[in-house]
Chains A and B, each alone.
Chain A
């Protein structure tokens, strides 16, 4: 009797082990898949659902279905229009300047100071800092009365500006902080592109007596274009969802002059608890980003 129960237990243990062994690959994958489902897939699906609902904070499960009402509200919401405009304004100016400076620096460093690794490292520091720290440092520097920038302005006889506090200068302040932080990224990408360029075509061009401009236009630029496209795409997508600097520097003000889409979504969702409308704006933002990136990739002919 005792022997048979021992045998039973042993066979159960064996069966369990066989089962575990057979399914080990699934078992080992399970935690990752569960986390992914919980943190990415579920919220995304939920966003699509709640975008068509009037979210009821007292009982989310009983939220009313309202069809496309949340999306219709986008048409008449001035604050949303303002946020959209500010986001485009920021993205256009910040990325253009970052790009001009980053490419310029890369060409300069590549040509003339290729071996000065120290300079390359120093140029990369801003990118390594957490965006929130960058924003806090700039906030302190921008302070109208006690900040270092206005102090320098006063010392050299310039009229001090209100920077992040002024309606006309707030967006400029956010752009400057972003350019300071992200130019190194463009620089690094362009530098990598330049470093991986073949030397033969350039030697041939030299033999043919091509000018620097001709070499840039006909050789450097075409070789660099795929890298430039990817860099632009990454920067534009990142700039389009700007949040941290606005949150720290201006809180979207003054008079909504720096209220970007991300910040507006945050306010609608977590200050006003209007989750359905916030989801609708998020979906709109996703569609714009997708359309734009597809267009850019096609245009730059690197989609395939």
Chain B
């Protein structure tokens, strides 16, 4: 009898334990339930929005949860949540080329009715027009599905002293200038100093470095009927220039991503590159850079056409499965207000508003001296082709560019193969 009591007591303990654990899990989940959940990338863009969200929490006395993931994982998480309509995230901070995929699959909430409730048609005109154009789907014409937060566009970074020594004073105007000067610097550098450094790792990196050159020679990836358009003299010319730049770059650019390019520039071992503005902070920081104050920033040089940067904004959108849409919209309007965009600029993220770009309090400071050029670069930038299959197209194009850079294919072969591959993707 006593033994049976013992067993019973033991079992009651088990039952109690199971119930206890279940209650604890339930309570933790309830305690964690946030008023707003944001998915943001690792890096300065995500850090900036996280800091802003912390301010907002205090201001409104609500709970904002931040999910921060590396670039590729953020896309996976957000796309999975979108496809499964889980409503895990209320707001996603997206890289702009992702937008067609998210918008055309219905993962994003159109913002028109929210603006109407506010008494306006859309975002105010202090935002740069190119920044706002990205937030509409289709590009520049459709309804708003997000708001711009970080205003990136490529710029040309160069060392004016070295360029002047080789006969180009002031801003290098054309790619021919760059190839000539960079060739001479690389030749004299004896393997320790290079005239140009290319970002040519397979996939997104090599495409991002190629596109501005492609546009400078009048190339267009798609024609008016959205058909691939790579078998043109413009594309061939751009490819030849790209391969010439590879010749004067350091060995191993085939696997270089932004980090390697930035390191070469910061160490003073390369005299020029196409780069994103968030590197300015690194180059002007004496702890990380040997070239403080020595690098100049300019628009992308011209080819046969005017140079044009690739635009690369970070955009905030509300997921269509969100259960806190109005709260999310209120947060987005607050976070993109002039005061908050200025705060974001002070945290190291380029702005998206004219008033912040031209704010004398900022432009008088050394680390913001590139703002006029960056604003110009955004105003004359080109977006990556808007296509819901862009990640796959970019991958196929990047693979062929990578083969050309690695010397596995000629420029013509690479263009022909890329054309064929992109045709197959688009028609599928």
Interface size, B (range):
35 or more
Flag if B18 contacts A27 (CB, 8 Å). yes
Q: Which of A59, A162, A170 has the most CB of B within 10 A?
A: A162
Instruction: Kindly provide the distance from the CB of A150 to the nearest chain B CB, expressed in whole angstroms.
Output: 9
Whether B399 lies near A255 (C-beta < 8 A) is yes
Give Cα distance in the complex from A105 to B251, angstroms: 37
What residue of chain B has the Cβ atom nearest to residue A73's Cβ? B428
Whether a CB of chain B sits under 8 angstroms from the CB of A226 is: no
A217 within 8 A of B: no
- State A163–B76 Cα separation when bound (angstroms): 30
Q: Given A57-B83, A162-B254, are A24 and B11 also a contact pair (CB < 8 Å)?
A: yes
- The 8 A CB mask of A255-279 against B (1 = contact, 0 = none) is 1110000000001001111100000
Is residue B276 contacting chain A, with contact meaning CB distance below 8 A?
no
Choose from A145, A146, A252, A254 the contact partner of B406 (Cβ within 8 Å).
Answer: A254
The verdict on A220 contacting chain B, using a C-beta distance below 8 Å, is no
**B399–A256 contact, CB under 8 A?**
yes
The answer to whether the Cβ of A79 comes within 8 Å of any Cβ in the partner chain is yes
Interface stretch of the complex, out of B49-57, B58-66, B99-107, B160-168: B99-107
Residues of A241-259 whose CB lies within 8 A of B? 250-257
How distant is A277 from chain B, measured CB to nearest CB, in Å? 10
> Which residue from B79, B250, B253, B402 sits with its C-beta under 8 Å from A57?
B79
**19 A-B residue pairings within 8 Å (CB atoms):** A20-B15, A27-B15, A57-B101, A58-B104, A60-B83, A145-B251, A145-B264, A167-B254, A251-B201, A251-B202, A253-B255, A254-B402, A255-B254, A255-B402, A255-B409, A267-B395, A270-B76, A271-B391, A271-B395
A206 CB, min distance to chain B CBs, angstroms: 55
Q: Say whether A28 faces chain B, with CB atoms less than 8 Å apart.
A: yes
For residue B200, which residues in chain A have a CB less than 8 angstroms away from its CB?
A: 254
Q: How far is the CA of A160 from the CA of B407 in the complex (A)?
A: 19
Closest to A145 in B: B250
Digitize B202-239: 1 where CB-to-A-CB distance is under 8 Å, 0 elsewhere: 11000000000000000000000000000000000000
Query: Contacts A57-B83, A145-B264; is A28 near B202 (CB within 8 Å)?
Result: no
A166, B79: Cβ atoms closer than 8 Å = no
Given contacts A254-B406, A270-B72, 17 further A-B contacts (CB under 8 A): A20-B15, A24-B14, A27-B18, A57-B101, A58-B106, A60-B83, A162-B251, A162-B254, A167-B407, A170-B255, A253-B255, A253-B406, A256-B403, A267-B395, A272-B395, A273-B83, A273-B391
- Residues of B near A160 (CB, < 8 A) are 251
Residues of B within 8 A of A273 (CB): 79, 83, 101, 391
B72's contact among A79, A144, A162, A271, by CB below 8 Å, is which? A271
Q: Which residues of A contact B144 (CB under 8 A)?
A: none
Minimum C-beta distance from A162 to chain B (A):
5
Q: Is the interface of A mostly helix, strand, loop or mixed?
A: loop
B389–chain A nearest beta-carbon distance, Å? 7
Contact B75 A270, beta carbon cutoff 8 Å: yes
Q: In this assembly, does A236 line the interface, its C-beta being within 8 Å of a C-beta of chain B? A: no
Measuring CB to CB, which residues of chain B are less than 8 angstroms from any residue of chain A?
8, 11-12, 14-15, 18, 72, 75-76, 79, 82-84, 101, 104-106, 200-203, 250-256, 260, 263-264, 269, 389, 391-392, 395, 399, 402-403, 405-409
Also in contact, A146 and B14, with CB within 8 A (given A60-B83, A165-B255): no
Cβ contact within 8 Å between A272 and B391? yes
Interface residues of A (CB under 8 A from B): 17, 20-21, 24, 27-28, 57-60, 79, 143-146, 160, 162-167, 170, 250-257, 267, 270-274
Determine which residue in B255, B392, B402 has the highest number of CB atoms from chain A within 10 A of its CB, and name it.
B255
B14 near A28 with CB under 8 A, answer: yes
Residue from the set A145, A250, A254, A274 with the largest chain B CB neighbour count within 10 Å: A254
User: What 8 A-B pairs come out closest when comparing CB atoms?
Assistant: A253-B202, A144-B252, A165-B252, A165-B255, A254-B254, A58-B105, A255-B403, A272-B392
Contact A165 B79 (CB under 8 A): no
Considering the chains assembled together, what is the distance between the CA atoms of A70 and B252 in angstroms? 37
List residues of chain B with CB within 8 A of the CB of A253: 201-203, 254-255, 399, 402, 406
Q: Given A57-B105, A145-B264, A255-B202, does the pair A167, B395 have CB atoms closer than 8 Å? A: no
Report how far A162 CA is from B8 CA in the complex, Å.
Answer: 70
Q: Closest chain A residue to B257 by CB distance?
A: A251
Q: Are B408 and A251 interface neighbours, CB within 8 A? A: no
Provide the residues of chain B in CB contact with A163, threshold 8 Å. Answer: 252
Among candidates A144, A252, A271, residue contacting B202 with C-beta atoms closer than 8 Å: A252
Give the distance in Å from the alpha carbon of A253 to the alpha carbon of B104 in the complex: 30
CB distance from B384 to the nearest CB of A (A): 15
Q: Are the C-beta atoms of A162 and B252 separated by less than 8 Å?
A: yes
- CB-defined contacts of B260 to chain A, threshold 8 Å: 143
Residue of A nearest to B104 (CB): A58
C-alpha gap A263/B107 in the complex (Å): 26
CB closest residue in chain A, given B390: A272
A143-B201 Cα distance, complex, nearest whole Å:
13
Min Cβ gap B226→A in Å is 18
Using Cβ atoms and an 8 Å threshold, which residues of chain A touch B12?
17
